[in-house]
Amino acid sequence: MELKRRQTADAPNWATWRRDVSGMLVFTFVFLLGSLIVILIWNFEELQGVLRLLPARESFKDAGDATSVGKPTIEEEVAAGAGIVGAEALKDKKKQKPENDGTVGGGGEANLAELEPLVVDLTILTKAADIGAVCLDGTPPGYHLHKGSGANANNWVVFLEEGAWCHSEENCKQRSKTNLGSSKFMKPQKFDGILSNSEQVNPDFFNWNRVFVRYCDGASFSGNSSLPADEKGNWLQLKGPYYRGESIWEAIIAELLSNGMVKADKALLGGCSAGGLSSILHCDKFKAALPGAKVVKCMSDAGFFVDMPTYKGENKFGDYFRDIVNLQRVGDGLLKECTKERDSADCFFPQYLLPHIKTPLFIVNGGYDWWQMDNIVTVDTLGEWNACKNDAGSCTDEQFSTIQDYRTKLLEALKPVEDSQKDGMFIDGCFHHCQTSRTVFWNGPQAPRINNKTASEALGDWYFERLTATDAAIDCRYPCNPACGFFNRSPGKPSFRKWSRT
């Protein structure tokens, strides 16, 4: 009996063991979940910005096997007092902090940082739905307007929202559940950069009528598919998605004309990314809508998407644009002068539209636009570019050649603008994507400068014809501009966005 009690006392207490193990598992789970939440909060702005600009086709996941990449020569170049010698200078640059010298604006940083952007309420065009001018989900489109004042009460800036595209019905259905496909999810908008009401931030346009047009069609305001209708011709609101971007454009312009834009003295159409592409596509239409205006010009920020192959020589982005054009019948609204000569999908690329656009146009673009580097040039499902994207010092000579080749192709495509008497451009040596709607790039003390001018100053000089010198401002090769340094951001998806301050 005594032996039995001793054996029982020495036996493991399984209930206590299970309780201890369960406690440890719960603690570990809570710790990991808490760590994840902290990381997400710490990187919230970065995640939000990336999600907003991601392409509809998920990293073109059908990319094939790697092939050999050509290796253009990296020229030795000296500009703005900074020498560049091929890949070695690029590798070393990431170790240096950008300095506030002659190529970067100085002074006023604290004051600009303290300025809170104006928040403008959303206006919904409820009657637009009656004529089929609807977002992907069938809801009416919207815009934000802050009225001009004083001597500029009759001048207008119309700015088109960014947000990539959707290329398939399923992709557009998913998009229709977001603010990029439905006005149900749209919120008040901060007016920053070229939309700011601060004379310090936006000296040329601060008291103009400034409009931010929401993007909810997924094809740069260019979708033109027919609508289901009854026997009387009234359109039937079924399940969607609806591809009515061109109708949205027409409804917005009609609304703004009725709100006073018909009396415009001066006007500027602009946009960022997909909105920047749209400002090119609709530039001449904007001019035609304002026959009484004295000056009408257009500006595209990060919207000059280049028709070029991936580093493997594949035409991924061209195929992607073709899907969008075919799905949403974009070709019906493209410039006829272009579609007579080329396939409609080609005419969705700005470089093939340039010879046919009559209205003065200004291009703002990073010479190494991170979005295009990620989604056009280095489409990579094998992880071959991960180390390079995460750390400039890890890039191979061949990869640096590919990076510089993008800039070369961009400048080649922009040659008509460089040679034009009416057009202008500001191509800095940075990896930024979208600059004019963000004070830090538009006119901030750390904004990139070319010939000691920010994008704000260059665009203003071109628009108001303040100078007789050339309006083609082209920066030196990366990394000569101190405002374009390598910014070692927190861990996350490998992206050339880590090479940009955004």
User: Which residues participate in catalysis according to the annotation?
Assistant: 273, 369, 433
Conformational region of residue 296, where left means phi above 0, alpha means psi within -120 to 50, and beta covers everything else:
beta
Half-sphere exposure of 180 (CA within 13 A, CB side): 22
Distance CA 173, CA 137 (A): 8
Distances (CA, A) of 332 to 300, 340, 348: 22, 12, 11
Beta bridge partners of 204: none
Angstrom distance (rounded) from CA 418 to CA 144: 33
Residue 399: strand, helix, or coil: helix
**Nearest by Cα to 427 from 443, 408, 440, 445:** 408
Note whether 196 and 118 are within 8 A (CB): yes
Which helix H or strand E contains 20, and what residues bound it?
A: helix 14-42
Query: E-assigned strands of 133-262?
Result: 142-146, 155-160, 189-191, 209-213
For the chain, state the CA radius of gyration. Answer: 26
C-alpha dist (Å) from residue 430 to 241, 403, 434, 483: 37, 12, 11, 8
